[in-house]
Chain A
Amino acid sequence: MSTEQEWLAELRAGKKSAYEALYHRHFRMVESLVIRLGGGREQARDIFQEALLVLVQSIRKPGFQLTGKLSTLLYAIARNLWLKRKAADKIPIQEAGSLSNLPAGEDGEKAALEKEALIQLVTESLGQLEDDCRAVLRYAIYQNLSHAEIARLMGYTEAFVKVKKFRCLEYLRKIVRNSNLL
C-alpha cells in the first residue's frame, strides 16, 4: 500500500495522528499559498484547519477515489476556501434586522434542541461500543464504504461485516428507542 493510501485509510479511520502528520507535512505549503494570495499567518491557520475538515468531508463522498496526492487535494481545497473567504469579505454585511437576525421560532428551536440531544445520546452510546463496532459504523455510515471495502480494510468477510453492522446499529436503536427522543 502506498503512503498516500495509508494516509487515506488513517483519515477514514479518524486517527488523530493523520491530522498531525498532515499539519507537519503540508501546513507550510498552505501558509505560503495564503500569504502569496494576500492573507496573513493567522488566516492561514484558520484556512488549514477548515481545509482539513473539508478534506475529511470530501473523502466520505460516495464513490470517492484518490487519484492524485492528498497534498494536492488539500492544496486545492485550501485555495478554494481562501478565495471564497476573500470574495465573501467583499460582500457588504447585511444590516441589523435583516433575514439572518429573524428568530427561528419556538418549533424550530425545539427541533434543534431535540436533534442536539439525539446527537449527544448517539455520541455517548458510540463511546460505549467496542472499537470494532464503532469502526464498522464509522466506515459504513460516515465514510459510506461498501461492505466489501470495509471487509478489506478490517480483514473480515463481507458477511461478517454485514452482521456486525446490523448488531451494532441494533444496539444504538434500542438505546434511542428507550430514550423516547424519536
Chain B
Amino acid sequence: MSNDVNIEQIHRYLSGEMEVTEREAFEAALEKDEALQEAVRFEQQLLGAIEQSFEQQARQDIGQVHRQLKEQGFFEAPRSIRLLVLRIAAAAAVIALGIGIGWFALKPPAFDPALAFSQYFQPDSTEVDGIIESLTSVGFTPEMNRSDSLREALLLYRAGNHQQASGFLEIFLRDHPQNDTARFYLALAELSLSQYEPAAERLSGLARADGFGQQKQAQWYLALCYLRMANGLNPARQVLEKLAEDESFDKQAEARELLEKLPQ
C-alpha cells in the first residue's frame, strides 16, 4: 500500500459517496495496488464490525426494556383495571376540580390557563356522528383500504381512542392532505393528547379556511389551544373577541365568559 493512502478516501469509496470519475480512478488504483486492496478490506470489515456491534447493542437494549416492562406487569395489566384506575383518577380529578371551583368561587383567583382549558375543552362528539353517518351513506368507505379509512379513524375518535385515531388520521392525511375534516379531528385528538403545538398549527389553518363547515369550531379550539401555549394569552384573546361578537356561533356565551376571565 502506498504510504499516502487516505483513510477518508477509502471510507468515501465504501459508503458510495464518490463521484463516477473519482470512483473509477480509485478502482483502477485498487486493481494494481495490493496494499490498497488490503487496506480497503480491513476498513470494510472494521466498519462492518462497528455497525454490527451497535446493532447488537440496540437489540439487547430493546430486549432488556421489554423484559423489564414484562416484570413490571406492563403487558399483563388487564384493560379493565387500567380503565378503573383511569376512572378513579378522573373522579379524583373531578372532585379536586369541584373543590377548586368552590374555593375559587369564594375567593376570586388568579387566572389559570390550564384550569380554564380543562373547564372549556370538550372534544367534539356531536358533529362527528353526522360526519361518520355521511361517510357511510355516500358509500365512501368501501373504496378505501380499511386502515386508511377516515370513517374508521373517526369511529376511534368518537370512542375516545385519541391516540389510535391520531395514527389513523395521519395515515389518511398522507393520501388526502387537503381533507379538512381529517385535519380538524386530528387537531382535536392532539389537543386531547396535550400535543398543543401541532394542534395549533392545524387549527390556525382551518380557522382561516372560509369554505370549511367547522371553521368557527376550529377558531374556538384554537383559542383554547393558545391558552396552553407559551405567550398564548394575547392570541387567545384576539380569537375569543371575534367569537364573542359572533351571534351565529353556538358557543358565543362561552367565548364571552372565557374572554371575561382572561387577565387584562
Q: A: which residues have CB within 8 A of B?
A: 2-3, 14, 16, 19-20, 23, 25-29, 32-33, 41, 45, 49, 52-53, 56-57, 62, 68-69, 71-72, 75-76, 79, 115, 118-119, 121-123, 126, 137-138, 141-142, 144, 166, 169, 172-173, 176, 182
Q: A53-B59, A71-B167, A79-B147 are in contact. Are A45 and B50 (CB under 8 A)?
A: no
Contact B167 A19 (CB under 8 A): no
Per-residue contact bits, chain B 38-68, to A (CB 8 Å; 1 contact, 0 not) = 0001100111011111111111011111101
Q: Which of A26, A53, A126 contacts B50 (CB 8 A)?
A: A126
Q: B: which residues have CB within 8 A of A?
A: 7-8, 15, 41-42, 45-47, 49-59, 61-66, 68-69, 74-75, 147, 161, 163-164, 166-167, 170-171, 174, 195, 197
Contact B163 A68 (CB under 8 A): no
Contact B49 A119 (CB under 8 A): yes
CA of A69 to CA of B66 in the docked complex: distance in angstroms? 22
**Contact residues in A for B63 (Cβ distance below 8 Å):** 49
Identify 12 residue pairs between A and B in the complex whose beta-carbon atoms are under 8 Å apart, listed by A's number.
A14-B61, A29-B164, A68-B174, A72-B171, A76-B171, A126-B53, A138-B54, A141-B47, A141-B51, A142-B51, A142-B54, A182-B46
CB distance from A150 to the nearest CB of B (A): 14
Contact A28 B45 (CB under 8 A): no
Contact B58 A53 (CB under 8 A): yes
**Contact residues in B for A119 (Cβ distance below 8 Å):** 49, 52-53, 56
CB distance from A61 to the nearest CB of B (A): 12
Q: In the complex, what residue of chain A is closest to B82 when comparing beta carbons?
A: A28
**Contact residues in A for B75 (Cβ distance below 8 Å):** 27, 41, 45
Q: Which of B8, B61, B167, B174 contacts A16 (CB 8 A)?
A: B61
Q: In the complex, what residue of chain B is closest to A68 when comparing beta carbons?
A: B170
**Contact residues in A for B195 (Cβ distance below 8 Å):** 3
**Contact residues in B for A29 (Cβ distance below 8 Å):** 163-164, 167
Contact A71 B166 (CB under 8 A): yes
Q: In the complex, what residue of chain A is closest to B17 when comparing beta carbons?
A: A62
> Which 5 residue pairs spanning A and B have beta carbons closest together?
A142-B54, A122-B49, A123-B53, A19-B65, A72-B170
Q: In the complex, what residue of chain A is closest to B79 when comparing beta carbons?
A: A28
Contact A23 B170 (CB under 8 A): no
